[in-house]
Amino acid sequence: MRWALVRVSLAVTVMVVLAFAVPLGLVVRELARDRAFADAERQAAQIRPALAITTDRDQLERAVASSQAGGDERMAVHVPGDGAARHGTDTGASTGTGAYDAHPVAAREAFGIGRSRADARDVETARRGRSAVTSVPGGYALLQPTALSTGEFAVVEVYVPHRAVTNGVTTSWAILAAVGLGLVVGSVALADRLGLRLVRPAERLARAAAELGEGKLGVRVREGGPAELRAAAVAFNSMADKIVQLLAAERELAADLSHRLRTPLTVLRLNAASLGEGPAADQTRAAVAQLEREVDQLIRAAREQGEQKERPPLGCDACEVIRDRMDFWSALAEDEGRTAGLAGVDATVRVPVARPELVAALDAMLGNVFRHTPEGTAFAVDVHRSEDAVIVLVSDAGPGIADPDAALRRGHGDGGPGSTGLGLDIVRRVAESTGGDVRIGRSVLGGTEVRVWLALDGGDGPRRRARRRARRGRARH
């Protein structure tokens, strides 16, 4: 938004500057040209009185030399001749007798004074009484006709160099360019400040939304900027407060529900204690003890989340957890005649998942194998490690899952009687908490394969989850 405002302001200001600066620049050039030729006309007008009085060459040369243009060798005078020689003069006017003097008078020849630069044809055209401006090497020549006492026209030529025509134009254009540049820079700076006033509140709102999505429930937005963004900040803060209240209520509800389980667990533990000795009784008592520990862990986790705003990153050894849970489920597998395979759990593989959460995810996947496949169906758990992820594969030789997408949606799994459809959703949430995902496909054993991708980088979790949600939305559409 900020750069969009700057670009719009830049474009508008440049157009306005061009609309005014270009015509002003042309006007300045025309004014300089008119000023130069007006000065040339003034220089030519200084010779007119001398031409009106005499056509004597010496007197005209002194008149031209006394002028400014003549002193700079920029003026020339073209005086025409007075035609053929006259053979006599009429003296009757002076004597009163009408006598005629038969002595011939020599005709005056055309001559020029000063340095001429104009073409002879242009000079002849000006002698007809029409002023003209013609281009000559290095500038222009102003040809100004002046009437003589004989009725003919002498031509006064004034040379106007290019520097006189463009005198001050470059400076004026530079000033116009500087003013235009100043206007452009000022408008861009002003638009940038206005853009910052709009962008900074929007950036704060976006940053707070991202932090809230990452689980930082204490983040709030400082109200500022335009009225619309202030209203958005108020709405965001209200939404964050409501989310905190809802999560607190959910945690309390989870703790209360977990606490209610202690009464039936106590009865179950007492009944297990009365079973006596034997492998079955020991397994029952161990299962009851494990169930009690899980309930206690749920209560503690709910309470701790209500007391802590940010918890430190947790992790566990995935291979150790898988070995432990396979030992737990192997007794039931032996009773049902199932073959259990286990591979890739010899090394230590740390994953950014708390142990109880990984245990819950593994129990959900293995419990599905026992719940949804016939007795005697083989299953296997494989662990693969890469540079940025740990992949856990749980596969079986059962009939498979008809609709994998529905199985991954919360509460949509068709698990039959007693199934809530939440098992694979637990697995999915554990995987997505690391930035990974869950896929369901066909296993090499012929049945279902659940692939759990646990990312190790931990940095792009929210963005990956957003991309996955977008992909799932497009796939469903």
- What is the pairing mode between strands 448-455 and 437-442? antiparallel
Write the DSSP symbol of residue 312. P
257-303 pLDDT, tens per residue?
665 676 676 677 777 777 777 777 777 777 777 777 777 776 666 66
C-alpha distances out from residue 167 to 70, 133, 161, 175, Å: 20, 18, 10, 14
> 440 has which bridge partners?
450
What's the pLDDT at 227?
83
What's the pLDDT at 102?
41
Rg of the chain on CA atoms, in Å: 53
111 membership: H or E segment, kind and range: strand 111-113
Is residue 19 packed enough to be buried (19+ CB in 10 Å), middle (13-18) or exposed (0-12)? Answer: exposed
N-to-C CA span, the chain? 32
SS3 label, residue 377: coil
Q: Which residues of the chain have pLDDT under 50?
A: 84-105, 308-313, 411-412, 415-420, 459-463, 465-467, 470-477
Q: Residue count of the chain, please give it.
A: 477
Count other Cβ atoms within 10 Å, centred on residue 216. Answer: 13
Q: Are 208 and 234 in contact (CB under 8 A)?
A: no
What's the pLDDT at 454?
93
Q: Are 5 and 194 in contact (CB under 8 A)?
A: yes
What's the pLDDT at 94?
37
The sign of the CA dihedral 361, 362, 363, 369 is positive
> 417 has which bridge partners?
none
SS3 label, residue 259: helix
Q: Helix %, strand %, coil % for the chain, to 5?
A: 55, 15, 30
Q: Are 82 and 32 in contact (CB under 8 A)?
A: no
236 membership: H or E segment, kind and range: helix 227-260
What's the pLDDT at 304?
61
The span from the CA of 118 to the CA of 140, in Å, is 9
Count other Cβ atoms within 10 Å, centred on residue 371. Answer: 12
Rounded to 10 deg, the angle between the 355-372 and 318-335 helix axes is 30
Q: Which residue has the tokens 């540049």?
A: 181
374 membership: H or E segment, kind and range: none
What's the pLDDT at 84?
40
What's the pLDDT at 219?
85
What's the pLDDT at 260?
66
Q: What angle do CA 409, 210, 432 make, to 5 degrees?
A: 30
What's the pLDDT at 51?
84
Q: Closest Cα to residue 370, out of 429, 324, 415? A: 415
What's the pLDDT at 105?
44
- What is the pairing mode between strands 389-396 and 75-79? unpaired
